[in-house]
Amino acid sequence: MFEPKRLHPVAVLSGILQTLKEAIIPLVVLLFLGGSSGKGIQFIIFGVIFFFLIVFSFLSWLRLTYWVEDGELRIESGVFVRKKRYIRFERIHSIDVSEGILQRIFGLAQLKIETAGSNGGKPEAELTAITKQESNEIIAIFNEVKKAGKRKLDSDHVNEADTGKELAKEDETDSASVVFKQTFPQLFLMAATSGGIGVVLSGAAAFLSQFDELIPFKKISAEAQQFIQSGILLMILMVLLLFIVAYLVATARIVLMYAYFTAEKVGEELIISRGLLEKRQLTIPLKKIQGIKIAENLIRQPLGYASVYLEYAGGSASDRDTVNILLFPLVKKEQLKEKINQFVPGYELQTELKGLPKRSYIRYFFRQLFIIIPIVAAASWILWPWGLASFALIPIAAVWAYLKFREVGWNINGNQLQLRTRIVSKQTYIFQKSRLQVFDRRVSYFQRRKQLSTIAAIVKSGAGPREGKLVDLEQKDAEFMNDWFSYSEHKKHP
Amino acid sequence: MEPRNRISSKALKVWRVSGAINAAICWVITIAILVVTILFDWPYWAIGAAGLISAAVTYISVFLFPSMKWKRWRYDVREKEIEIQSGLFIIKRTLVPMIRVQHVETNQGPLLRKYQLASVEISTAATTHEIPALELTEADELRFYISKMASVEEDDV
């Protein structure tokens, strides 16, 4: 621990795999661009690339050492350019522990260390393969330092106000922890209603288009033509089967990702861990949470379930998982308010929302019509007279517009702003005034004639902005919200 | 109540000049089409369409949009917040609290420099906002003022 050490040799392998994963698209392109003329040369090029990859990964491993000294985590690395990173434990915001498949086989762990400086880009430092014991020791030191820092802060408080009671209270909340565990039936329900099939289907399409040259599609389609003649029913069955398989794959993928999902609140931190094959653990300081999003998709909403996400200012932009953090993958609607309050104190879900004025419905309807009318016109013209059936889309658009219109609502409760809207799924944002970066109001010419406005409240999420937006609100309400957000005392609207 | 301050009236000139540059590019393309039409006996409607489009672009980007934009542009820098109003067809009013401002900078491109103007860029943790054209001295004062007011309070993101 206090001696310079290397990572576990598995790091070499994981380095190679990581690079291959990042370079997969250029490699595939290279493979197919060459065509069939010079296969030999291609293999030589690949061989050379692969050889250098192995050598480079090995050298990187050889040159990377880490140790703990003087309250710092010290990492020296780099093959050609030596890089020394000394990170004070006080400066570390969070340490994420994950175990990929490779790490699990060898009983290792991967640490990602985040500081304030690692905002947006990659994590400040990464130890890809170390023994569990080492990882636990580093985390223990980190926790120790943090606790010491907190004690110091607390004692400063006492000197100022000398309230021993407050200190005791703080200790109490420190030790009390709440735990949320996703049960297995809920996990399956969540995976089955996730809509992850879209990801798998688009992935399959991308895969097929990439391997265009590999599979003789022309030959297949010639056979397919015969096939079609032999029975359209069979064709439909095949497509159906494909969908079912894709659906099952998508569901299984989510089950693997979110198995054993546990969210735990310990003191001022949330610890979220999940995963069956690949384990991930995230530690999120409460004070870095910028807002909460509650999502109810079209399948879950009638079943009375919702998912809760955290808008989190830390994390690296490249890592999708840390930008969209699930706090509760699936939770009964009745429990939402209580659960959110337990885990993220200060966020109070409100049920009484103020909606839109009736006159804005027509604008919601028009917006749908703008999408629908070209489709209806084209269908009617091309598929005359059967295309006229597409006129049925217009009442459907009217109903959908109504569903969107109906869900929009807002509530201001003390320093909290709650916004609800429907994109496809129903989304509720809860923001605190102290976390909102910017508030804006937009009025178009047509909106002004009807005294309506669009508003957007923006918080920081990951490295970028996240916007909660309500369209066609009563103008007076927009002004009211603007005044609520304004920090100036004097200005009031006439 | 709209924000009180307008941006410099010279901004109108700057926008007209940069609009004129865009228009000039359109006219160059039109002339190229004209040459090709004569050389290769292309149909004449192509040159007519190109001419019409260029004329429209010239009118819109040199005359219409700059004056519309300038009329809409307002800003107010108060003790605790900055309010910015902008937009062509949709008027957008943005409220940025001082404690959210992370840094301010003034920028000056070649066009702005010619007219002794500068733009002020205000960044929060998540967004950036620009006041596009102020007198250089005014922009500098604003930058000093905002960074002074912004550093009074420090908050967690």
Separation of CA A369 from chain center? 32
**The predicted structure's pLDDT at residue A335:** 93
DSSP code for B64 = I
Cis peptide before A216 (omega within 30 of 0): no
Q: Which residues contact A93 (CB under 8 A, 6 or more apart)?
A: A114, A115, A116, A285, A288, A314
A83 part of contact set with chain B, CB < 8 Å = no
Q: Which residues pair with B104 in a beta bridge?
A: B122
Chain A contacts of B124, Cβ < 8 Å? 437-438, 460
> Phi and psi for A178 in degrees, rounded to 5?
-110, 145
Residue B79 belongs to a domain: yes
Chain A contacts of B91, Cβ < 8 Å? 442-444
Distance from CA of B40 to the nearest CA of A (A): 36
Which of B89, B92, B125 comes nearest A437 by C-beta?
B125
Q: Are B97 and A453 in contact (CB under 8 A)?
A: no
Statement to judge: residues B85 and B30 lie in one domain: no
Mean pLDDT by 10 residues, chain A (494 residues): 86 88 76 62 82 91 91 88 86 83 88 70 79 89 81 56 43 64 90 75 61 53 63 78 85 89 90 87 86 92 93 62 79 93 93 94 95 90 85 92 95 95 93 94 94 95 87 95 86 48
In Å, the largest CA–CA distance within chain B is 70
- Residues B82-90: what's their mean pLDDT? 94
* Burial of A163 (C-beta count, 10 Å sphere; 0-12/13-18/19+): exposed
Which residue from A minimizes the CA distance to B99?
A437
Question: SS3 of B123, please?
Answer: strand
Statement to judge: residues B14 and B55 lie in one domain: yes
Q: Are A470 and A408 in contact (CB under 8 A)?
A: yes
Statement to judge: residues B96 and B125 lie in one domain: yes
Structural element, H or E, at residue B138: helix B136-150
> Phi and psi for A37 in degrees, rounded to 5?
-65, -55
A443 part of contact set with chain B, CB < 8 Å = yes
A116 part of contact set with chain B, CB < 8 Å = no
Distance from CA of B60 to the nearest CA of A (A): 18
Statement to judge: residues B101 and B121 lie in one domain: yes
Distance from CA of B82 to the nearest CA of A (A): 10
Statement to judge: residues B50 and B82 lie in one domain: no
**The predicted structure's pLDDT at residue A163:** 42
**The predicted structure's pLDDT at residue A341:** 93
Number of domains in chain B: 2
Statement to judge: residues B39 and B82 lie in one domain: no
A36 part of contact set with chain B, CB < 8 Å = no
Mark yes or no for CB contact B156/A288 under 8 Å: yes
Chain B contacts of A440, Cβ < 8 Å? 92-95
**The predicted structure's pLDDT at residue A85:** 86
**The predicted structure's pLDDT at residue A167:** 43
Statement to judge: residues B43 and B58 lie in one domain: yes
- Residues B4-16: what's their mean pLDDT? 92
Mark yes or no for CB contact A485/B95 under 8 Å: yes
Domain boundary among B26, B50, B71: B71
Chain A contacts of B155, Cβ < 8 Å? 434
Which of A442, A459, A486 comes nearest B95 by C-beta?
A486
How far apart are the C-alpha atoms of B54 and B24, rounded to whole Å?
A: 9
User: What Rg value do the Cα atoms of chain A yield, rounded?
Assistant: 28
Which of A313, A487, A493 comes nearest B157 by C-beta?
A313
ipTM value for the complex: 0.86
Pairing of strands B5-6, A409-413: unpaired
**The predicted structure's pLDDT at residue A172:** 43
Which residue from B minimizes the CA distance to A492?
B1
Statement to judge: residues B104 and B138 lie in one domain: yes
Q: Where are the beta strands (DSSP E) in B46-140?
A: 74-77, 81-86, 90-97, 101-107, 117-124, 128-135
List the strands of the sheet with A452-461, edge to edge.
A464-474, A452-461, A438-444, B90-97, B81-86, B74-77, B5-6
Statement to judge: residues B91 and B126 lie in one domain: yes
Mark yes or no for CB contact B127/A438 under 8 Å: yes
A402 part of contact set with chain B, CB < 8 Å = no
Q: What own/partner pairs with CB < 8 Å and gap ≥ 24 does B65-69 have?
A: B65/B15, B65/B19, B66/B12, B66/B15, B66/B16, B66/B19, B67/B12, B69/B15
Chain B contacts of A288, Cβ < 8 Å? 156-157
Chain B contacts of A494, Cβ < 8 Å? 1
Q: Which residues pair with A438 in a beta bridge?
A: A458
Chain B contacts of A290, Cβ < 8 Å? 157
The two tokens of residue B50 are 């190109």
A466 part of contact set with chain B, CB < 8 Å = yes
Domain boundary among B49, B71, B93: B71
B87-126: pLDDT as tens digits: 999 999 999 999 999 889 999 999 999 999 999 999 998 8
Domain boundary among B24, B54, B71: B71
A469 part of contact set with chain B, CB < 8 Å = no
A491 part of contact set with chain B, CB < 8 Å = yes
Q: Would you tell me which residues 59-78 of chain A have a C-beta closer than 8 angstroms to some C-beta of chain B? A: none
Statement to judge: residues B13 and B50 lie in one domain: yes
**Chain A with chain B: Cβ pairs closer than 8 A:** 73
Query: What is the pLDDT of chain B when averaged over all its residues?
Result: 90
How far apart are the C-alpha atoms of A146 and A133, rounded to whole Å?
A: 20
Mark yes or no for CB contact B95/A288 under 8 Å: no
* Burial of A270 (C-beta count, 10 Å sphere; 0-12/13-18/19+): buried
Which of B80, B92, B157 comes nearest A488 by C-beta?
B80
- Which CATH number covers residue B96? 2.30.29
**The predicted structure's pLDDT at residue A363:** 96
Task: Please tell me which residue, A226 or B23, carries the higher pLDDT value.
Answer: B23
Statement to judge: residues B81 and B117 lie in one domain: yes
Which of A441, A460, A493 comes nearest B125 by C-beta?
A460
Range of the domain at B117: 75-150
Residue B157 belongs to a domain: no
Q: Of the candidates A50, A86, A66, A48, which has an alpha carbon nearest to the alpha carbon of residue A11?
A: A66
Which residue from B minimizes the CA distance to A290?
B157
Is the pLDDT reported for residue B24 higher than 90?
Answer: yes
Residue B137 belongs to a domain: yes
Statement to judge: residues B85 and B104 lie in one domain: yes
Residue B155 belongs to a domain: no
